[in-house]
Amino acid sequence: MNLNPDMGVCMAAKGKKNNLNTYNGNMSFPYAALPTLRQQPGISPYAPKQQLQRSKKSSGKKRKKVDPNRKYRLEKEKRIRKGRDYFFVMRKFVCFLVFILFAVCLGVFALGYLNILPDYVSLFVEPDYTPKDERFTENEEGVLVKVEDKSAHYSAMDPISGFIKKMFGMENILGPSQKYDSMVEKAESGATDMITSMILTYFPIAMVLYILTALISMIKAFLAMFGKRIYRLFGLSAIWMIIFGAVTAIGGMASNLPPESALNFGELVPFLMSYLTRMTNAGPQTAAGFGLFALLGVPVIIIILSMFMKRKVPYSIFD
């Protein structure tokens, strides 16, 4: 059926308003009235015009990611700066005191090696338990004279040199080590408890570690008096020194135990106090000397002082 060309023109004009092709006069009406398909990925050709235009704009650009927490964020000018408003400096005088205390700990070993003041730097003592009323006698002139104290003192070099001789065979180089030799003999021949035997043999290792820890910490305290660097771990070093000193004390206590008995920490108090008091006529054969008390007590003071070695300085002083 042929249609009037004028009708086709009217329909073509109406189709142009609705995005239809215009009629060119050579095409039949049904083909002239078909719309042009806007082929775009993911969009139907019959989609609304606004959606088609939006897809054209977004097709050539990458879509920006939207931050879901954007409304909770502050502007850059209003953000709070994270960080400390102060810095640390070392207190020079406290560093000097700590340096002196570490030097005192090392001086116990140095004076013992030089055999200077043996009554005051000895680690172990075999006390003279002479009764108190017999410690003074009258001379020919009737004047009371103090009886000579026959206590035997052993410095820190006795067990250290004895251990080195035992491990490396250096008997001809190092001096005598009477106390340590008697301990080792007891451990090898009579001691039945393995822990007691090991402590009697290897406790000098704790003393060597004590010396190394004190030496390193003393150097750090010396450098802290002059430089700007912050040095730490003085308190931790002192704690390790107390542990090493306690092992040394247990080694001396173990020398008083009978060969067949196990390690008994109840004997630690008599070991520490017998030389100081000597109130009884008999006590343990080996007691703690003043040098051992220094090795245990000075690190406690260092721990207290290490809490005050640094102080805070606010940045506001530069304003």
Rounded-to-integer distance, Cα 292 and Cα 119, Å: 12
On whether the CB atoms of residues 218 and 146 are closer than 8 A, the answer is no
Report the chain's mean pLDDT, rounded to a whole number.
Answer: 76
Rounded-to-integer distance, Cα 266 and Cα 256, Å: 12
Assigned token pair, 178: 């009477």
Domain boundaries, the chain: 1-82, 91-318
Length of the chain: 319
Positive or negative, the CA dihedral 115, 117, 121, 123 is: positive
* pLDDT of the residue at 44: 52
Q: Which residues contact 91 (CB under 8 A, 6 or more apart)?
A: 308, 309, 310, 311
* pLDDT of the residue at 98: 95
- The phi and psi torsions of 86 (rounded to 5 degrees) equal -150, 170
Closest Cα to residue 278, out of 188, 177, 150?
A: 150
Greatest mean pLDDT among 9-18, 27-36, 100-109 lies in 100-109
> Among residues of the chain, what percentage have pLDDT more than 70?
66
Q: How many CA atoms lie within 13 A of 134 on its CB side?
A: 9
110 vs 188, higher pLDDT:
110
Rounded-to-integer distance, Cα 11 and Cα 132, Å: 139
Strand partners, 145: 137
Q: Coil, strand, or helix at residue 133? A: helix
Rounded-to-integer distance, Cα 37 and Cα 1, Å: 27
pTM: 0.68
Positive or negative, the CA dihedral 256, 261, 267, 272 is: positive
pLDDT digits (tens, 9 = 90+) for 141-168: 767 777 777 788 888 888 998 888 888 7
On whether the CB atoms of residues 275 and 127 are closer than 8 A, the answer is yes
